[in-house]
Structure 1
């Protein structure tokens, strides 16, 4: 598939925005989508990339806010990853998620775009309290696999990747991927699309050398869980004031 696609739009939440992977320029996070786009641009000088993802977005918001502007740009390749924030909430509705996921992929496919889908990595192995919610993520991932099969989409099945047992793949908040984790995902996307990954990813260095396992549960709860609960109680989101970092398709420059 090398060089097959010349335009790529990334849709989703913090996973696709790149939270957990600080940009070398110190501005917005980088993340796997930026890394993949950079690698793809090395092989295709006409490659353009947009990233509409915003942290904290629920599934319906991703669909309602990001799918229309993505469709208007008529991309040849789309990545769609959402639902993790929903699965963390008691109001999670898997049947509604399944119905809308099928419709989103059908729309992009009908427009001639290839679609990349992702299952969630198994964060429950190291995030306190997640064992109670693990069944939701298992069910959500089953939905994504079914959607991928029905519409012949590309599936990056992160749930089955043993690499995520490594604490260095996770940021200090234990919920988002670290630089190393994002590089791993980028390499998997490159593999699926026959794009040559950056050799530097194999020796990935985490910008913050503190791994998710180095922070005590008490420290983690005070610094990360407490603020998350406060936002839930007040109806706020970490992405309330965040705008897409690359709203329009444009050429990729190497960081």
Structure 2
């Protein structure tokens, strides 16, 4: 849903800030296998095409880094974004905070709103996103109530400040595991593609012949024994390292720079 209208010639300077979701994990770019693509990169390409059809063009930066909590996103990343003088900023964060046992949802919402106010005062339009619904997700389904409360706060912030919102919570396609990668925490290429289309729609555009929430054919059934083996492999390969990093205070993004620190044309 959008509480804003696209500029006549489209946006000119789009900056994305956030965590692993906006960095693009696990949407592998076939042209650059060492780097993820992701929904924000895909959205930037669509916005550039829309701008060019109207005589404009778009430059794009992506400052998101995996593992980052909201403090960093609305701190260093936001400061960097404002230095680039964008006219559109997507800000998606808080997911890593919500997983912490003592997460203060009210404080997180206040942090996010303060960031939105700074962006709106700078003249930039803002794109937000609700969390996905983790009802059937391993581990994080235990904090489904927190996800729902944070989603409600995002809608309230958007209404107060005229933002667009990607309604991931309401996307049925994202409840299908075929939209997710093997780690069950990050979307695969199809999931990122669908979110990019949903973002494009939320910003007031109409994708041609594309429905971000188009239904799939029924998923093939999996024998219980195979599902058990899949779960055991997932716990060993993905869950154990993830838990280990949190117990030791480490992040998968430690030492990583943003993948697109400067405004350049989308690829």
Q: Establish whether TM, by shorter chain, passes 0.5.
A: yes
Is residue 2:242 matched to residue 1:236? no
- Separation in 2, partners of 1:231, 1:61: 18
* Residue of structure 1 aligned with 2:14, choices 8, 14, 37: 8
CA distance in structure 2 between the partners assigned to 1:141 and 1:193 by the alignment: 18
- Whether 2:94 is the aligned partner of 1:83: answer yes
Bigger Rg over Cα: 2
Equivalent-residue separation in structure 2 for 1:246 and 1:75 (angstroms): 14
What is the RMSD of the two structures over their aligned residues, measured on CA atoms?
2.0
Give how far 1:123 is off: 2.8
TM-score by length of 2: 0.85
| Cα shift at 1:245 | 0.5
What is the CA–CA distance in structure 1 between the aligned matches of 2:74 and 2:45, rounded to whole Å? 25
Aligned to 1:207: none
- Please point out which of 164, 188, 202 is paired with 1:154: 164
Q: Which of 16, 34, 59 is the equivalent residue of 2:41?
A: 34
d(CA) in 1 for partners of 2:266, 2:192: 18
Is the 2:134–2:141 contact (alpha carbons within 8 Å) kept by the matching residues of 1? no
How far is 1:183 from its partner? Answer: 0.2
* Counterpart position of 2:67: 56
* Deviation for aligned residue 1:96: 1.1
List gaps (5 residues or longer) in structure 2.
1-5, 215-225
Q: Which residue of 2 aligns with 1:170?
A: 180
- Are positions 1:193 and 2:207 aligned together? no
More helix per residue = 1
Assess if the C-alpha contact under 8 Å between 2:27 and 2:189 holds in 1: yes
Gaps of 5+ in 1: 205-212
Structure 1 length-normalised TM: 0.89
